[in-house]
């Protein structure tokens, strides 16, 4: 059995930062140390910290003064203020992403918005965010709860950092339909999004998923639910002891992921235990329970190693740390904490610690944070720093000034990116390698793409065909080929079309070589014409003729299809020499004429719709794909000169089944025998006289006298 671990699993930046702060505080040992609530939602880590002298408390009343660590989920503003005033030394381990949500909620409330928090109202993170609004914020967990809120003129929306994007967007959509002004702040943690995406991708590839994390961990619970939604059997455990060998019997590949509060050593232990179980299940005889216990006890001495590693990391951190205690609240995850000597022109690595409206603060390991102005963040114009970076992002920066008049370090991300970008682009251009960049904006004639330097993609080079709305690409990461590069003039021209043409040509050759008449394939509707639709079945545009779209008559393909539809089609004919393929949609749909005699027995009266009139009668539709003829002689119990004198196209009528010919696909119907005869239509209109042909029948003269009889 192959055990695959998700690309993103385990500690996120915020949790690791909280653990590091707690470890440093434990090493310093300046009096009693408390965690105001569990530091993170992982009982094994909390137990390990307790052994190091960090005790969990729920309130500060009656507690001996010492150091209080604020949990990674954060607390309300009033509680935080109370703790500061109580004489405790405070170490704020609140995740920077949570701090951002708290600040946004506070600012929105101050600006007169009714704050709505999307999340679990019982979760401490959500309770803390509500606390920053003085308890005025409303909490909704899903779109249904959002629809039940009263209307407000101004609403500000923030999210619990572990919320799935889909739920957040669904709630926002509901709020926008019933509220006045809606200010949306997406406060979902990028690390959570990455873990959820990695877990979903893995769950679709394996036969079983194991999710490791605390039972109370919100992000671990969401990971479990997301994996379950793929249909893959999913198990949520806290430790390897909860694994059951029966889960893996007969399986070839298993997946493993973990919540953001799960340490690496637990993940590794679970992975090792899964592999041991796989070896056991491959033996000729099942291992009995006593042997399993023996193996588990044999592995127990190894469990002490993660604790020893943590202690060693704490001691190393205590020796290397030279940062003043007052900067604790602004610490970020850095490998180096020594003060650096900076010079203009240096390119160094730093971590984003704060994002303001028009600037970003970056910790570069010096005495103070460096500042990046909005215009120095990207080669392209951006309206908000969050379009480029997030708190906790590691970035390379160029030192513009080691110290300005205010003693600040002036940095540029744009210039650091450009240094690396030009070297990368020059190599990619020479080797015709694909590059990928983010579309920043639509400009005259095309798109502006961020490759570390500004690059231009003409509108004609975006797709294989014409694109009417280029705005749909803004914010997307697009792969492309460089078709022109001039470093001296800072000119980069890109073509996504060239890349798509290559892919399309390869798919076309492969498809034509492998498809056979009678194959059922998936396709995408690319173009509609009067005579049918062209469907892309993998590099080849096959023709779906209008007669092969539906069993019932349609006047234009747009009545049944639209461009972009994904459909299954049957291959009727393949002309490899001329690269032409004929397709059918109706032949994979149920034939409405099957068992027609059972559904429409002779003598039954059924509802129908008039679809077209002909000189000898009217064709009516009994159901889509099934039409019958009402002969003119069966339209009424009096002489009818023209069918339109009795009925009109589109009219609903009742008809009687006279005969059914399934093989010939013919049904004879009668309107006359289905009920009261229709009133005769007037033969004269204002200013017009119907020509008298002289062919008068007894029915014409006296038929109306007998209609009631």
Residues 6+ apart with CB under 8 A from 472: none
Q: From CA 641, how far away is CA 637, in angstroms rounded?
A: 12
Which token pair is 680?
A: 């005769």
Strands 580-584 and 181-184: unpaired
Is residue 568 within 8 A of residue 522, CB to CB? The reply is yes
Q: From CA 509, how far away is CA 515, in angstroms rounded?
A: 11
Q: How many CB atoms lie within 10 A of CB 468?
A: 7
Write phi, then psi, for 312 (nearest 5 degrees).
-60, -40
Strands 394-401 and 409-412: antiparallel
Residue with tokens 């309300």: 76
Which token pair is 444?
A: 């005259």
Helix (H) or strand (E) holding 167: helix 165-178
DSSP-assigned beta bridge partners for residue 90: 68
Which token pair is 588?
A: 């994979």
Is residue 56 within 8 A of residue 35, CB to CB? The reply is yes
Strands 54-57 and 33-36: parallel
Q: From CA 242, how far away is CA 259, in angstroms rounded?
A: 16
369 is catalytic: no
Q: From CA 277, how far away is CA 270, in angstroms rounded?
A: 10
49-57 long-range contacts (CB < 8 A, ≥24 apart) are 49/22, 51/307, 52/23, 52/26, 52/310, 52/311, 52/314, 53/26, 53/29, 54/22, 54/25, 54/26
Is residue 307 within 8 A of residue 300, CB to CB? The reply is no
Residue with tokens 């009656």: 62
Q: From CA 34, how far away is CA 83, in angstroms rounded?
A: 12
Catalytic residue among 61, 64, 125, 548: 125
Residue positions counted in the chain? 709
Which token pair is 674?
A: 């289905």
Is residue 499 within 8 A of residue 481, CB to CB? The reply is yes
Residues 6+ apart with CB under 8 A from 22: 35, 39, 49, 54, 69, 91, 93
Q: How many CB atoms lie within 10 A of CB 522?
A: 12
Is residue 95 within 8 A of residue 149, CB to CB? The reply is no
The DSSP code sequence of 589-654 is S--TTTTHHHHS-TT-EEEEEEEEEETTEEEEEEETTEEEEEEGGGS-SS--S-GGGT--TT-EEE
Residue with tokens 């967990």: 141
Q: From CA 223, how far away is CA 63, in angstroms rounded?
A: 37
Catalytic residues: 125
């Amino acid at each position: 059995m192959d055990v695959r671990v998700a690309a993103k699993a385990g500690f996120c930046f915020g949790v690791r930062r909280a653990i590091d702060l707690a470890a440093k505080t434990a090493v310093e040992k300046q009096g009693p140390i408390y965690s105001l609530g569990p530091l993170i939602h992982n009982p094994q880590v909390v137990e390990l910290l307790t052994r190091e002298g960090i005790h969990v408390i729920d309130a500060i009343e009656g507690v001996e003064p010492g150091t209080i660590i604020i949990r990674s989920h954060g607390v309300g503003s009033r509680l935080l203020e109370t703790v500061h005033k109580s004489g405790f030394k405070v170490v704020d381990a609140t995740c920077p992403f949570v701090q951002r949500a708290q600040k946004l909620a506070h600012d929105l409330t101050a600006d007169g918005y009714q704050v709505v928090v999307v999340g679990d109202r019982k979760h401490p993170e959500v309770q803390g965010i509500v606390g920053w609004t003085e308890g005025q914020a409303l909490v909704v967990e899903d779109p249904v709860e959002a629809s039940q809120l009263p209307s407000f003129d101004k609403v500000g929306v923030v999210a619990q950092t572990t919320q799935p994007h889909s739920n957040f967007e669904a709630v926002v959509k509901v709020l926008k339909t019933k509220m006045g002004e809606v200010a949306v702040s997406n406060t979902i943690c990028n690390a959570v999004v990455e873990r959820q995406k990695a877990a979903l991708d893995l769950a679709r590839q394996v036969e079983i998923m194991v999710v490791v994390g605390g039972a109370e961990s919100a992000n671990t619970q969401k990971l479990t639910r997301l994996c379950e939604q793929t249909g893959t059997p999913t198990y949520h455990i806290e430790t390897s002891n909860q694994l059951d060998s029966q889960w893996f019997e007969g399986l070839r590949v298993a997946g493993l992921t973990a919540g953001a509060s799960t340490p690496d050593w637990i993940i590794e232990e679970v992975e090792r235990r899964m592999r041991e179980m796989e070896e056991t299940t491959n033996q000729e005889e099942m291992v009995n329970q006593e042997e399993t216990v023996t193996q588990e006890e044999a592995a127990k001495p190894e469990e002490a190693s993660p604790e020893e590693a943590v202690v060693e990391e704490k001691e190393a951190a205590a020796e290397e740390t030279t940062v003043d205690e007052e900067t604790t609240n602004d610490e970020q995850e850095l490998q180096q904490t020594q003060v650096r000597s900076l010079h203009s022109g240096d390119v160094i690595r730093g971590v984003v610690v704060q994002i303001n409206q028009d600037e970003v603060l970056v910790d570069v390991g010096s005495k103070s944070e460096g500042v990046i102005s909005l215009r120095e963040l990207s080669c392209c114009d951006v309206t908000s720093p969050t379009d480029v970076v997030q708190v906790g992002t590691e970035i390379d920066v160029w030192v513009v000034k080691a110290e300005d008049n205010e003693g600040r370090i002036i940095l540029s991300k744009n210039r650091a990116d450009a240094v690396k970008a030009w070297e990368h682009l020059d190599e990619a251009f020479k080797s015709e390698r694909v590059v990928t960049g983010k579309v920043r904006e639509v400009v005259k004639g095309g798109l502006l793409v961020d490759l570390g330097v500004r690059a231009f993609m003409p509108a004609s080079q975006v797709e294989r065909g014409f694109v009417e709305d280029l705005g749909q690409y803004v914010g997307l990461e697009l792969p492309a080929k460089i078709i022109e590069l001039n470093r001296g003039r800072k000119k980069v021209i890109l073509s996504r079309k060239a890349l798509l043409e290559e892919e399309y040509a390869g798919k076309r050759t492969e498809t034509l070589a492998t498809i056979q008449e009678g194959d059922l394939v998936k396709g995408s509707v690319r173009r509609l014409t009067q005579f049918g639709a062209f469907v892309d079945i993998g590099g080849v545009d096959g023709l779906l003729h209008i007669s092969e779209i539906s069993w019932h008559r349609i006047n234009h393909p747009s009545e049944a299809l639209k461009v972009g539809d994904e459909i299954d089609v049957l291959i009727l004919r393949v002309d490899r020499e001329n690269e032409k393929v004929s397709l059918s949609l109706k032949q994979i749909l149920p034939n409405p004429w099957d068992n027609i005699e059972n559904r429409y027995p002779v003598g039954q009266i059924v509802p129908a719709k008039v679809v077209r009139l002909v000189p000898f009668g009217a064709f009516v539709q009994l159901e889509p794909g099934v039409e019958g003829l009402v002969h003119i002689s069966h339209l009424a119990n009096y002489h009818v000169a023209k069918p339109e004198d009795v009925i009109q196209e589109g009219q609903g009528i009742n008809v009687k089944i006279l005969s059914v010919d399934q093989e010939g696909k013919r049904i004879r119907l009668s309107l006359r025998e289905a009920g009261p005869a229709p009133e005769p239509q007037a033969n004269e209109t204002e200013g017009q006289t119907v020509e008298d042909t002289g062919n008068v029948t007894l029915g014409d003269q006296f038929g109306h006298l007998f209609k009631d009889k």
